[in-house]
């Protein structure tokens, strides 16, 4: 793909669109109230459930006479209130919603729809590396799931706009 928007931002926009699939109507456990990129301020209880995601780094491997192979690492924080369930159960449902949504298209967004693991044939791989549980204390306890993923794609050396699946 070639354009005037950096390839990383195009990929992040597609990720955000897919996270927008997370609704109870689409067979997920939760309906997200907010999906934000690189938010520094914590969510308030009335914002939950919500997702904050950001890239944590871009790696580049070069081989002579070939496209560069780039790896974009992305971190996802998914937050909600713990309610009456054990926090690990809630966090696991958040993780399930997040990973599932990231592997569904915006035109086939339901949990029961077929997976699409290469962002519509635009990347080589979309890899899940695991997740962690977090719980907040206080009068209104919340919990979160922290998901680690990476996106592998190819680009012409020194070109930050164009990219391909392979």
The residue ranges of every structural domain in the chain are: 7-155
Domain 7-155 - what CATH class? alpha beta
Task: Give the three-class secondary structure for 40.
Answer: coil
CB-side neighbour CA atoms (13 Å) of 31: 4
pTM above 0.85, yes or no: yes
First to last CA, the chain: 12
Could you say which DSSP state residue 26 is in? G
Question: Which residues, 6 or more positions from 78, have their beta carbon under 8 angstroms from its beta carbon?
Answer: 49, 50, 51, 94, 95, 97, 98, 144, 145, 146, 147
- The torsion angles phi and psi of 22, rounded to 5 degrees, stand at -75, 95
Per-residue pLDDT of the chain (166 residues; tens, 9 = 90+): 556 889 999 999 999 999 999 999 999 999 999 999 998 887 787 789 999 999 999 999 998 888 999 999 999 999 998 768 888 999 999 999 999 999 999 999 999 999 998 888 888 999 999 999 998 776 667 889 999 999 999 998 888 887 776 6
């Amino acid at each position: 793909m070639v354009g005037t928007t950096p390839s990383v931002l195009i990929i992040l926009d597609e990720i955000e669109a897919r996270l927008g699939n997370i609704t109870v109507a689409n067979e997920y456990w939760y309906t997200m109230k907010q999906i934000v990129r690189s938010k520094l301020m914590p969510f308030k209880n009335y914002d939950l459930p919500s997702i904050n995601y950001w890239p944590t780094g871009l790696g580049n491997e070069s081989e002579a006479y070939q496209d560069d192979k780039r790896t974009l690492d992305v971190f996802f924080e998914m937050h909600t209130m713990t309610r009456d369930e054990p926090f690990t159960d809630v966090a696991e449902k958040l993780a399930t919603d997040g990973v599932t949504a990231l592997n569904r298209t915006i035109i086939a967004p339901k949990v029961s729809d077929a997976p699409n693991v290469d962002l519509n044939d635009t990347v080589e791989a979309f890899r899940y590396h695991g997740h962690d549980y977090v719980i907040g204390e206080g009068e209104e306890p919340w919990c979160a799931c922290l998901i680690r993923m990476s996106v592998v794609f190819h680009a012409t050396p020194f070109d930050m706009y164009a990219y391909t699946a392979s």
